[in-house]
Structure 1
Amino acid sequence: MSSFEYNQERDSEDIDRVTLTDEKGFTLDCYIENAIEGNDGTYLLLMPVDIPVVILSWDGEEEDSDNNEEISNGVLLEDPIEIEEIFADAKAVLAELDLTLKLTAFTLTLTGELPPIEDDGILTLELGNEEPSLESEELQFLKDFYHNKQKYSIYTPLSPLLFLAKYNLLGKVELVSPEDQQMQVILEELLFDDMDE
């Protein structure tokens, strides 16, 4: 059972939620997994309420992958303009599985009950170029579709998608980069504290 299937079964009244908003005005509802007080505010570990998804574009004659990560012979779709262009087709094929795709902030998400995980439907996504064996993510296959003769595949991560955020001086929640050295310490504290509970 994936983390997201468990996530959907939560009693929403027992879990605090916040809403993240991106610069385009899209929103993403998240559960607060953990929180700690820092010198400059409250830091939060967040997980989306709905199920995150990623879309891969499979190499074709017209595919330009200069700015994207290579994944075997597939490319992770990250360009918001391209995602919006194929969104209607992706939403239509997921509807066949009784899943509803949503254009949300920071990641695409969907609602509904995921199909059972099958071993032959799992793809390992290699992250980074130097030592890919150290950073990889497993994805569960959901559906293929075509847009303008280009093949795309929709997957959901098997591991939880987590965001690091903090309450700013106005009391609004904003994302912070986990790459920052100081944030690394806070993120580790949030993660280990969350595992202990």
Structure 2
Amino acid sequence: MGESSSLSGSGDVPTIVVRDGKGKELLCFLEQLIPLDGHDYALLTPVDTPVCLFRLSDDEEPELLEGLDASEPILSTAEVVLQEHELTLVRSAVTLTVSGELEEPDPEDFDEEDEENDSDDDDAETYELLVSFMVADEEYGLYIPLDPFFVVARMENDHALLVEGEEFERVQPRIEAELEERESQD
């Protein structure tokens, strides 16, 4: 069954490659197109599974590591660990992604865990640990965000350019408002 079950029946959602300012690419499904200020903005979701890298320590909260250089030894180690699971780490635009056959997280597993450690820790519920590994006496983990991961891009000719920084801050609230309006019309 695979991925098509969550899409709108036919499974032929268009895909598009998004580029960021550094020329990195990310293959995404096109979810929505939103016209703003004479541009078409696209709301996209990555085709591969997005992952976030955290530094783990026994006595502190996991620390999210962002903006890692692609040559980081941590990422090289993560690649090797993932290969053992027949997965590939992709240094994409926007986020690291993992391609390969991932087991779908089972929502029932979470309910039980949430009841056991009935804490106010929101972060624990929004990420699932994929793999953890050691680099130079420090432990790291790759986590899958469980919330939907959306990417905003501006369409130019046949290309999608990642919306970042100030432009993102400017258009994001308007895109959210437009989506809410569309949903209320359904």
What TM-score, normalized to structure 2?
0.74
**SS at 2:72 equivalent:** helix
Residue aligning to 1:128: none
Say yes or no: does 1:186 pair with 2:175. yes
Which residue of 110, 114, 124 corresponds with 1:119?
Answer: 110
Which residue of 138, 145, 159 corresponds with 1:172?
Answer: 159
Residue aligning to 1:56: 54
In 2, the alpha carbon distance for the partners of 1:90 and 1:173 equals: 29
**SS at 1:105 equivalent:** coil
CA contact (8 A) 2:35 2:41 kept: yes
CA contact (8 A) 2:128 2:146 kept: yes
Deviations 1:111-158 (A, max 9, x none): 1222353439x89xxxxxxxx96x996011111101111100111011
Which residue of 143, 146, 151 corresponds with 2:134?
Answer: 146
Change (3 A) 1:14 1:82: closer
Which residue of 16, 19, 22 corresponds with 1:21?
Answer: 19
Change (3 A) 1:58 1:191: same
For structure 1, the residue ranges without an aligned partner over 5 or more in a row are: 61-71, 124-131
In 2, the alpha carbon distance for the partners of 1:150 and 1:17 equals: 38
**SS at 1:80 equivalent:** coil
AA aligned to 1:161 is F
Which residue of 39, 42, 64 corresponds with 1:41?
Answer: 39
Deviations 1:76-121 (A, max 9, x none): 011322773211210111222222211111101011222353439x
In 1, the alpha carbon distance for the partners of 2:142 and 2:46 equals: 18
CA contact (8 A) 1:45 1:190 kept: no
Q: 1:195 Cα deviation (Å)? A: 8.2
For structure 2, the residue ranges without an aligned partner over 5 or more in a row are: 115-120
Q: CA RMSD in A?
A: 3.4
Moved more, 186-195 or 15-24: 186-195
Q: 1:162 Cα deviation (Å)? A: 0.2
CA contact (8 A) 1:137 1:157 kept: no
In 2, the alpha carbon distance for the partners of 1:98 and 1:108 equals: 16
Residue aligning to 1:76: 64
What TM-score, normalized to structure 1?
0.70
AA aligned to 2:174 is V
Matched pairs, number: 171
Residue aligning to 1:101: 89
**Greater helix percent: which structure?**
2
